[in-house]
Structure 1
């Protein structure tokens, strides 16, 4: 691994001033040395209890009871991840109300969250992780999904919300677990999680994974592995330092699904690959160095966090761009490849203190974030022999004979610098009423160096203030109500890309108004609800008086409500369920569509429920149902994904030693033919038919 760092002088000076305190924050940490030394597993009030989460720092950056968070957050605990045999982000998101996993052209994680389609709003332990890659769950404690803008916490982007992965870390005690999974289509997956206390001042942990698999899709396969060692030092009672490194590789077939015809997915075998699977590949490499240092000054806690990640990404595909509506039923193929080499370096420094003034209790947070990103991008277009890219839909195979850059293909280097300061106060007015108020200032600079013959160098600087406000009422210990306002901004260079048409545009704005409630309907079962309106303003639209340029007149609105139910119904029954009703549409003409169009990949109704029943004598079963109403594939509103209901199940047996478990997970028990997501009107993903995975796991 090598890190390619070419920082601007200002960024170099700032990082040098930090004295090399390279650290990375763990988003769930509440207090300093006690949490790091003993670990979450030994905390009676830990953030997750079975299927139910009780605490989070994703929204507030401070360890806060969820009942005092004025926002909609769904926490997917590690126990749910294990019971459903999840492997990646699309698995995690399918049980999160208000969020759908998008196809991402078969080469990356992509999601639609409250009507906002994004590849960039992924974070790990609160640090930006915005490369267009696939992510695995092998080293995760849990995944926290914030719905609604999080500009004060996360800065730019996050118009609909963010996904924050919380990784495992050393515990001052023994950790030992391994698993082996065999499944349909030659799946073979192994994981290991081991750790130990070195002495009273040090502990280590190692998570690793390897997987190979084919697919129900013709010619599609997967090969990936990851290793993530971490070590914690506690040189003094008030200081803890955790260092970590992840090496991850993912190679797979880039599968863009099937095309459409007559406004629906093309009627054909769900296994048929349209294009050329042998020439459709995606390769990802991630090398990420993290560390965390925390110190208690006696009433003031310091957290300084750092993450440097090198991403190497290449993908290439030969795919169908349409199916002609004629008796011949012919498919037109397109091809291109793209390489991206990206370096992310981010540093966060937070100071937190608690104090009282005039009878009011304060939890005050102040911090700075500094970031540098360097991205090299190159695209080449696939060339076909004359006439060979139009093929029968019954045999949609075509071969690109070469890949060469064209005049319009990207070839650029983009550098960005982020400078941010923020302050937040959580104020307890009395036992029942609390106020949260926060403000963040961001300066985001982008330099775009076009390496093509035109050699257009562009730059932009955006400065923005992101406010947040919330009011929380807790009339009893088992019920909470809140109202909140949150904001985020999306600058023109937010995805590290600029053009002459977008260089001078102001940032888009995302504004969320929300009221919600949480009730502990049983001691270990929480019901949460939220009603919201999310407006996205200053969306780009084509300038009718200046072709090729844009004006900011577009607006998008998502209105709806969400319900979540997580926890223990009885000592033998746990549930993880959600429902979302969303109405997402264009309210003023945008670059994508005119007023009145529905937003793509946003079903009006989304319902999911997963149950685990412990039957005794070591036996248990799981039963899950996912239902989605129909949705459009894109803003064109010309192609619909049909509604569907999918049923999943599991059987568990824990041996007498209580350390070894055998689990059989079956997906799509009824063998339903369905289409869960898409990338465009002609890239539609078929859902997998009935399939099974058998996992043997053991603790040692």
Structure 2
């Protein structure tokens, strides 16, 4: 691919660090010269530490954390306190990514609508896939161990003169301690690159992923015998999630969803890319992506069938269960055209990028349940599950025929971006400016409740401004940026007769970065970065002056106001790279203060911390490789991940706070409302307790040996994850795996 639009890599490069990014500005940029903070993880790093899941990868970057939700099959790691969007080769996509054909993972941080259009205020995770190589190469990889199996195969090389191919295949199976839980993924991809001429390249890529899983149950199931409900000392109301006295029976591995929970995803993606250099001053890139998928899910719910029944921990019963079925069909077409001009004006150098983006995303969202007549025919022991003696009799899927949701969602967007990169003082000062306009359209149709149907047509302007100053070239570089973003809403506003306006965000950041311990004769160097930032996201709240009695709905009195603000103040420090030929390391530190800053119509919410945001996150890795002598090729490594405690959810009936002391003694339940507003007063519903995930520190180690036999290169390794067998929980309360041992083997030739 042309160097303006591709990151340059070497097949012989074994460095753990990366030097360049493509995602920050949509053109090839050195990490130290980007006004946007980017962390790049290379496949060598992912393999050495066995990081095949998105949440595992996010734990080792500044701004990320070790919070997990992987059992859902579509985990959304957090960046800077907000859920991140997934991208594949610069295109937003549904679902998660496999690692079998990944060249690198770029964590691009902050509000980025000027670069990518609709995006999260925390940033994006862009998976860049491997390209076909000119020389034949083949590979096999297998990793097996506790709750885990992963097999990969790949082949690449020439098909004909100037035409090259690549194929990849993966089968992965993940388990866990919870009953019935499993997670299987099949993925295959094929890629072709045609070097039409020295200045013209065309690429085509196809990938298909099939995923089947039982999601498992969110939260521990506990039973208290002889217990009493407790009255809140703060509100005077009965807090039905709180109990006292009696004996606690814990069902740590119990899966309330049972064996009937079944999820199936199938995603097919077509990518094409055309690049042409007209001259040394002008280059063109045209990208296109089309993906379509299908998601179906069978399971148990309540009267709102997709909600899991709420457990009564005093009686030990999951009452009012009801079968349901979902079948969704997302489809998206997206295109990009980037025209890059490079020129000089006097003492200044310029890169001017003009971009046009188009996208059309649609999804059908029908859901079914069982009729009242067929529901009544099921045994009471199935509808009201006794946890101590569950009846897994199940239900006849052919009888789940009553439609209770029938919705359609569509997003259309045409965006234009003008971006300028200017070099001053012989490259000592770099200035960046991007301005983007989006003609954004959204439509939400609810055929079961037409009153919730609405549409939106909005012109959005977003910008990114930034600068980089080489104080000590290569070693001390100051940078700053200001950026914005927007996300869509599907909530109908009865006052305006339209969907709510997009949720907007704004962020500022400043810091310093550079490289130390750099060896001019090699790629060895330690990259460091430190920054402070503030991100504000507007949130909707109900308009107190709006009344349902108004019948004209002329748009003069909106039902919702976007005048609430969530704020994240953050500090990040990151070291990443190769200290010597033998030592590679990373060290990250994140400090976040995430809270509701303004909520004019409900001021008691102001100061309340945001959910799923640990105040402090730490991670470190260390890898030592023997490069000389009889032990050449032997390597060992170590990792550490730490999160401080965080608020997981506002629990109600049947909730619990896990890990306060011991789940088998008296640490499962608390009567303390831990969420407090800026005045120090508890905040929350009268019957609510707060679930707090305790602080957790995890340690992993590995050892591997690389050796050659003729043209074959072998890697044999063993990884021990969660070395201390720590008890820890994901954000929804599911018990995570303890100590795991994995053995892996890779063959390349």
Give, in whole Å, the separation in 2 of the partners of 1:360 and 1:256: 59
Q: Is the 8 A contact 1:560 1:583 kept in 2?
A: yes
TM-superposed deviation, 1:605: 0.7
Residue by residue over 1:11-33, the C-alpha shift from the partner in whole angstroms, topping out at 9 and shown as x without a partner, is: xxxxxxxxxxxxxxx8xx6336x
CA 1:54–1:583: 2 relative to 1, 3 Å: same
> Please, what TM-score do these two structures have when normalized by structure 1?
0.86
Counterpart in 1 of 2:740? 691
| Worse-matched range after superposition: 545-554 or 239-248 | 545-554
Q: Is the 8 A contact 1:275 1:333 kept in 2?
A: no
Residue by residue over 1:203-244, the C-alpha shift from the partner in whole angstroms, topping out at 9 and shown as x without a partner, is: 111111113344322111222211111011112111000111
TM-superposed deviation, 1:386: 5.1
Q: Is the 8 A contact 2:700 2:723 kept in 1?
A: yes
CA 1:353–1:612: 2 relative to 1, 3 Å: same
SS in 2 for 1:170: coil
Decide which structure has the larger Cα Rg and report it: 2
Counterpart in 2 of 1:481? 478
Residue by residue over 1:86-143, the C-alpha shift from the partner in whole angstroms, topping out at 9 and shown as x without a partner, is: 222122222122224552771312222222235xx111111111x2x24221110111
Give, in whole Å, the separation in 2 of the partners of 1:579 and 1:321: 39
Give, in whole Å, the separation in 2 of the partners of 1:263 and 1:608: 35
Counterpart in 1 of 2:269? 288
TM-superposed deviation, 1:392: 4.5
TM-superposed deviation, 1:189: 2.3
Q: Is the 8 A contact 2:220 2:734 kept in 1?
A: no
Counterpart in 1 of 2:424? 429
Give, in whole Å, the separation in 1 of the partners of 2:154 and 2:178: 32
TM-superposed deviation, 1:519: 2.2
Structure 2 spans left out of the alignment, 5+ residues: 223-240, 302-307, 519-524, 549-558, 652-674, 676-689
Counterpart in 2 of 1:53? 18
Counterpart in 2 of 1:248? 209
Counterpart in 2 of 1:458? 454
SS in 2 for 1:90: helix
Give, in whole Å, the separation in 1 of the partners of 2:355 and 2:570: 33
Counterpart in 2 of 1:659? 713
Give, in whole Å, the separation in 1 of the partners of 2:547 and 2:698: 46
SS in 1 for 2:45: helix
Do residues 609 (structure 1) and 620 (structure 2) align? yes
Counterpart in 2 of 1:110? 76
Aligned pairs, number: 647
CA 1:498–1:370: 2 relative to 1, 3 Å: farther
Do residues 86 (structure 1) and 51 (structure 2) align? yes
Residue by residue over 1:562-599, the C-alpha shift from the partner in whole angstroms, topping out at 9 and shown as x without a partner, is: 11111112221111231111110111239999222111
TM-superposed deviation, 1:553: 2.4
CA 1:668–1:268: 2 relative to 1, 3 Å: farther
Counterpart in 2 of 1:202? 163
Counterpart in 1 of 2:92? 128
Counterpart in 2 of 1:513? 508
TM-superposed deviation, 1:480: 1.1
Give, in whole Å, the separation in 2 of the partners of 1:105 and 1:221: 8
Q: Is the 8 A contact 1:618 1:656 kept in 2?
A: no
CA 1:72–1:685: 2 relative to 1, 3 Å: farther
Aligned ranges 1:319-338 → 2 under 5 Å: 321-324=309-312, 326=314, 328-332=315-319, 336-338=324-326
Counterpart in 1 of 2:289? 307
Give, in whole Å, the separation in 2 of the partners of 1:192 and 1:145: 26
Counterpart in 2 of 1:72? 37
CA 1:665–1:91: 2 relative to 1, 3 Å: same
Give, in whole Å, the separation in 2 of the partners of 1:419 and 1:359: 36
Which of 180, 187, 190 aligns to 1:226? It is 187
Counterpart in 2 of 1:449? 445
Which of 555, 566, 574 aligns to 1:556? It is 566
Which of 149, 155, 158 aligns to 1:188? It is 149
TM-superposed deviation, 1:609: 1.0
SS in 1 for 2:510: strand
Give, in whole Å, the separation in 2 of the partners of 1:137 and 1:263: 43
TM-superposed deviation, 1:263: 8.3
Aligned ranges 1:537-552 → 2 under 5 Å: 537=538, 539-546=539-546, 549-552=559-562
| Worse-matched range after superposition: 410-419 or 453-462 | 453-462
| Worse-matched range after superposition: 587-596 or 363-372 | 587-596
TM-superposed deviation, 1:500: 5.0
Structure 1 spans left out of the alignment, 5+ residues: 1-25
Give, in whole Å, the separation in 1 of the partners of 2:503 and 2:118: 10
Do residues 351 (structure 1) and 346 (structure 2) align? no
CA 1:404–1:650: 2 relative to 1, 3 Å: same
| Worse-matched range after superposition: 422-431 or 589-598 | 589-598
Counterpart in 2 of 1:148? 110
TM-superposed deviation, 1:315: 2.3
Give, in whole Å, the separation in 2 of the partners of 1:631 and 1:643: 8
Do residues 472 (structure 1) and 468 (structure 2) align? yes
Q: Is the 8 A contact 1:263 1:639 kept in 2?
A: no
CA 1:554–1:206: 2 relative to 1, 3 Å: same
Give, in whole Å, the separation in 1 of the partners of 2:429 and 2:249: 57
TM-superposed deviation, 1:311: 1.3
CA 1:609–1:395: 2 relative to 1, 3 Å: farther
Counterpart in 2 of 1:12? none
Counterpart in 2 of 1:536? 537
CA 1:330–1:627: 2 relative to 1, 3 Å: same
Which of 357, 361, 381 aligns to 1:373? It is 361
CA 1:263–1:103: 2 relative to 1, 3 Å: farther
> Please, what TM-score do these two structures have when normalized by structure 2?
0.81
SS in 2 for 1:79: helix
Q: Is the 8 A contact 2:268 2:292 kept in 1?
A: yes
Residue by residue over 1:488-512, the C-alpha shift from the partner in whole angstroms, topping out at 9 and shown as x without a partner, is: 112324xxx7575883422221111
TM-superposed deviation, 1:157: 2.4
Question: What CA RMSD, in Å, does the superposition of the two structures yield over aligned residues?
Answer: 2.8
